[in-house]
Structure 1
């Protein structure tokens, strides 16, 4: 008996994206689908293909009836799994993010789709009960436009808001409850939500809030820190539509949420939201690109406001969701700067020069009578910039406004007998006759951070008080409401049961002197996050900062005005041509590689090319790394990114020696 003939596939061509990061191969390739593979070779399925003589992993993007390839197509080597794990929406997102950051599709795809766990994929699909979200407005009830925002989500609309949280240990400032409430409102409309936070501590807090409103089975947590099986199980629950709410860290920004209608992000200024692998995408930008593509609602929440979010507000892409000023004054802790009055200076004449002035000890003493007191100390080892010896203004290049460094001079000494020379980190210009543009002084200094003694000093000052430390590899989860001193570094501050009675911000000037454009923005963000752990002003909550009373970030902290500070900061960056008011791309590599890159680059006008300048040796110490900085107006930013990506493809095709590290809109600029 002759075998039953097999019908040829209706669409015999599979367009496959191959796991190859070479820029000149950043496109799909066509393969033939055999009759035996027809049913399993669905769009989104994992496959193995022969590429350049080797077997490589890939994903089917689509099936087609014909191809532009002139010769005979090679068949798919194997369909690894018929599970469609790459959805069309995520495919578009991956391509958009790769183009936005001058990266390759394959590099972004590795961030979007986790490795397969065969046993988990073949296991019986778990049954999840229907989710009945708890109704209510939660923290949004304390904001004038909060209930309207939730009502829009329940209708299935797509509002976009920058939620300025009230910084206090009060229900109206509970960001986790707010994000869970927004997800529940979206779920009432039968739509999906994606909630992103910076780290695992925040994720644990959000998990508790979602459990209260959505139930244990109403959501999944997706993060790279999960084991292979748990991560893939959560991923499958999302891609199959078993759950409509996904929470996670930056790795979850690409999660395949079914019927996505809300993307939410907490504390977008946290640098943990920036991916550390090429092409270094930021979760905020990934979510913005995704929301624009699918028409989803957007909620970016934070106690502070980044310049990137302020720019979105200025463009009216985001609408501010803020509290009434009167409510903010009643709820926020009472915040002041040490030695800010003539009376305080008369009592303690050395207050402005002291690291621990009398006002600090008085605040701690009063606070300990009511509960725990938090003391924030800048982390030892922060990179600080050079400052004017007289007025403490950061030293900047007069040509490009870039940061300045000090190095040993090749010959002689400067006018003050120092065998060092100033040079710009961006454009490389030497600055032998630097003069402060603010006060005219010509001397500069490099402050040194030293905060290791703080816990011991406070322990001696308050001998009968428990002193707890939270820093480095020993971060406390929570502290009880009993009186105690808690000394913590930025980002390691543990919440307290019922909130802290008081908080002290030490060495604020040192936090502002990091060699980074975002130092002031980051300092205010850190301080407001501490303020949010303190009891409301109505309950006696107090925050005191030790620093310059004229400091703009500290004044914004006292006024609880992060929006005003962000608006002014953005305006000044626009004047000085700094991101996000301009497009900035850095290219790091060997001198020869950068010269080759510059020779091939055809940047749009007007584009500034700054450098190259030396950064220092590589990790092994055998190669000197240099940096080239490209800067252009936003109007031609996309063209500049495309030009940089084209050079990468050209160098890849001709197998040019010397790898280059390209970062578009880098988080750290210094």
Structure 2
């Protein structure tokens, strides 16, 4: 056998089976010797089927004692899997009790042959020296950019002030990193953010200095942009979750905007969070870190308190000056019951000289209904599901089975009148239109989310959290309605998430604007003080008492009731705190496992072993999530 025939390729086979999550050795046939290169896509015969895989490395021999099977086909000689991303995939898989193959499906877009045919080899353009003007408003901000320009790797958590464009500040940081000969990866929550940031990046860095990577891109364009990065033609990547794995050469900066947004949590196995992927890359490559947002998460606060990240904030006078003044009202007047449109809100909106933003916690019209007499929830006569109403002249309809109910009668008191304990932004729009007839009512939420509206001094915008459109010059007044309703959600992160959405809404205010929040003054003091860091510190302290992430590690295991019951009674390591099982739906239960942070990898290894046992026995898999955003 010739030396060429003895060449061995270590292959990562594309399989979701946990017990097969390791490299396998294959022989490189003579006729494929010139086309098999590390990082390329191939096909191999595996368990009787022809499956995809990636070449991790080439070797002269193998530790396998039996006969090695040959590589069946080279799909493409394009090296799309770099050693850094291969190691990142393994580390992320180990962190989240998943498989490297699952991670690579998130990291590498599907192949597009026509895109590969484009010639490569272009050198990355040198970005212009755009300075650090956006950072002068923050303590130690300019020093962070200077460190990047000097080739250093600072790590920081930035709390962005209203009207201080975060996209421009990040572009200046990216420019400093690139001019020092290094690349950058910037991740934002969704494609609306990508579009806005892309325009600023193109203006600041030059039209061809970066690429965008999102799942919404057309396959050919997405793969072409990916190849430009992997070939070293571009050093800057802007995108959503998948961009965190972009194979940027000489990575020098990883940045994430609004890391508390749940869109950063991957909905596919192994469910990694973008922030954790970027932090893992930073540790592996020695890159700088920037976590930016109007609010701050408990995870970011933990990095600050540990000293791993520096804190970049405006000083107290700057925060007081830039954030709108927030008045809090509980909605009551002279001891009466809380009003839907409190006098404080009415007077502030009526006196506003410019557009007004009203954040409404629920979308829709009347999102829940109860009997007006006995307050019994209105149920569908067909399936007992909840009844809703989509507009004033619409009939009642069941949220579960869509049955239309022409005439409803309460099953308890036989009353026929209904009331809405919670109303959505459409019903609120009707109320505000009647109260302020001179205002032009605009709604944003649900299936109709507005990214931006033209400035209209008479505009009154009612939006659900996260759907607030930008208006040039900012809003004259921001109203946060029913804050108690957002805080009443069944979510372990409800306090943090509610404040994130409130700070994001307040950040859309104009200079000198006013804001009114309807809720409890004690709970909303973080808004009154314009203190996102204080809110995050309080949240982190609460998490420490309950040993929840980021103080501890937490995992959920979902599966059939009998399977979860069996797992709950098995012998777990002594550091694992087993909670449950609890039902999540008929026939399915959930087990919650909690460990100290230092035992996080050990817990993931145990769970990976359980998944491997089940896949080897050809039993149905269980759903494993490490540090889920919600559970």
| TM-score, normalising length: structure 2 | 0.88
Q: Compute the displacement of 1:35 (Å).
A: 2.1
Q: For each residue in 1:402-438, what CA deviation from the matched residue of structure 2 results, as whole angstroms up to 9, or x when unmatched?
A: xxxxxxxxxxxxxxxxxxxxxxxxxxxxxxxxxxxxx
> How do residues 49-198 of structure 1 correspond to structure 2 at under 5 angstroms?
49-125=44-120, 127=122, 130-166=125-161, 168=162, 170=163, 173-198=164-189
User: 2:453 is paired with a residue of what secondary structure?
Assistant: coil
1:211 to 202, 216, 219: 202
1:233 and 1:379 map into 2 onto residues whose CA distance is 40
**Gap regions ≥5 residues in structure 2:** 368-419
Match of 1:620 in 2: none
The C-alpha deviation readout for 1:323-373, integer Å capped at 9, x for no partner, is 111111112111121269xxxx7xx42577122111101111222x2x210
3-state SS of paired residue (2:247): coil
Q: CA deviation at 1:105?
A: 0.9
Distance 1:448 1:257 in 2: 52
Measure, in 1, the Cα distance between the counterparts of 2:422 and 2:175.
Answer: 45
Offset of residue 188 of structure 1: 0.9
Question: Is 1:514 aligned with 2:499?
Answer: no
Distance in 2 separating the partners of 1:351 and 1:184? 57
Given that 1:46 and 1:57 are in contact with CA atoms closer than 8 Å, whether structure 2 keeps it comes out as yes
> In structure 2, what is the Cα distance between the partners aligned to 1:21 and 1:157?
39
| 3-state SS in 2 of match to 1:139 | helix
Select 1:570's aligned residue among 529, 535, 540: 540
Q: Structure 1 448/586 Cα, relative in aligned 2: closer, same or farther at 3 Å?
A: farther
Residue 447 of structure 2 corresponds to which residue in structure 1?
Answer: 473
Q: Which residues of 2 match residues 452-463 of structure 1 at below 5 A?
A: 452-463=426-437
How much has 1:545 moved relative to structure 2?
A: 0.4
Deviation at 1:273? 0.3
Higher mean C-alpha deviation, range 604-613 or range 177-186: 604-613
Q: Which residue of 2 aligns with 1:610?
A: 579
- Taking the aligned partners of 1:44 and 1:564, their CA distance within structure 2 comes to 46
Contact 2:41 2:75 in 1 (8 A): yes
Pair 1:95–1:558, CA change in 2 (3 A): same
10 and 193 in structure 1: CA distance in 2 versus 1, 3 angstrom threshold: farther
Please tell me whether the aligned partners of residues 481 and 500 of structure 1 are also in contact (alpha carbons under 8 angstroms). no
Match of 2:510 among 517, 532, 535: 535
CA offsets, 1:179-210, max 9 Å, x none? 11111111110110000000111111110110
Which position in structure 2 is the counterpart of 1:201?
192
**TM-fit CA distance, 1:466:** 0.6
Q: In the TM superposition, what is the alpha-carbon distance from 1:652 to its structure 2 partner?
A: 1.3
* TM-fit CA distance, 1:7: 6.0
Q: Structure 1 or 2: larger strand share?
A: 2
Q: Is the 8 A contact 2:615 2:621 kept in 1?
A: no
1:661 match: 623
Q: Deviations over 1:209-238 (max 9, x none)?
A: 101111110100001111110100110010
Q: Which residue of structure 2 lines up, in the alignment, with residue 362 of structure 1?
A: 347
SS of 2:254's partner is strand
* Mapped contact 1:476–1:492 kept (Cα < 8 A): yes
Aligned pairs, how many?
Answer: 577
Is the 8 Å Cα contact of residues 339 and 351 (structure 1) preserved in structure 2? no
Q: Distance in 2 between matches of 1:588 and 1:463?
A: 52
Where 1:606 maps in the other structure, the secondary structure is coil
Aligned to 2:292: 301
What is the aligned partner in structure 1 of residue 229 from structure 2?
A: 238
Deviates more, 1:466-475 or 1:326-335: 326-335
CA distance in 2, matches of 1:271, 1:477: 18
Q: How does 1:399-478 map to 2 (within 5 A)?
A: 449-451=422-424, 452-478=426-452
Over 3 Å counting, the alpha-carbon distance change for 1:295 and 1:91 in structure 2 is same
**Equivalents in 2 of 1:214, 1:115: separation in Å?**
28
Residue 522 (structure 2) aligned to one of 550, 555, 558: 550
Deviations 1:457-499 (A, max 9, x none): 0001111211011111111121222221001001110000111
Q: Cα offset for 1:34?
A: 1.6
Q: Is the 8 A contact 1:603 1:640 kept in 2?
A: no
Counterpart-to-counterpart distance in 2, 1:256 and 1:499:
38
Which residue, out of 488, 498, 508, partners 1:523? 498
Q: TM-score, normalised by structure 1?
A: 0.83
Q: Are 1:587 and 1:662, in contact at CA under 8 Å, matched by a contact in 2?
A: yes
In 1, distance between residues paired with 2:59 and 2:360? Answer: 61
1:313 pairs, out of 301, 304, 329, with 304
Q: Aligned partners of 1:248, 1:351: CA distance in 2, in Å?
A: 50
Select 2:531's aligned residue among 561, 580, 587: 561
Give me the whole-angstrom Cα distance separating, in 1, the residues matched to 2:124 and 2:146.
25
Equivalent residue for 1:388? none
Query: 1:636 matched to which residue of 2?
Result: 599
Alignment of 1:627 with 2:578, yes or no, is: no
Contact 1:128 1:217 survives alignment (8 Å): no
Out of 651, 655, 665, which is 2:614 matched to?
651
Secondary structure of 2:467's counterpart equals coil
**Secondary structure of the structure 1 residue equivalent to 2:168:** helix
C-alpha distance after superposition, 1:102-153 (max 9, x if no partner)? 0011111100111100011012338577333242113211112111100000
Q: 1:262 to 1:129 in 2, by over 3 A?
A: closer
Distance 1:179 1:298 in 2: 11
Q: In the alignment, what sits opposite 1:409?
A: none
Tell me the equivalent position of 2:8: 13
8 A contact 1:597–1:647 mirrored in 2 = no
- SS of alignment partner, residue 597 of structure 1: helix
Deviation at 1:542, TM superposition (A): 1.1
Distance 1:194 1:556 in 2: 31
Secondary structure in 2 matching 1:133: coil
Inter-partner Cα distance in structure 2 for 1:129 and 1:56: 35
Aligned mates of 2:549, 2:120 — CA distance in 1: 47
**Alpha-carbon shift at residue 635 of structure 1 (Å):** 2.4
- Give, in whole Å, the separation in 2 of the partners of 1:562 and 1:216: 35
Partner of 1:349: 334
Q: 2:357 aligns with which of 359, 374, 396?
A: 374
Alignment RMSD (CA, Å) = 2.0
Q: Give the superposition deviation at 1:46.
A: 0.3
- Other-structure match for 1:501: 476
Q: Which runs of 5+ in 1 are unaligned?
A: 1-5, 385-446, 618-623
In the alignment, is the contact (CA less than 8 A) between 1:380 and 1:449 conserved in 2?
Answer: no
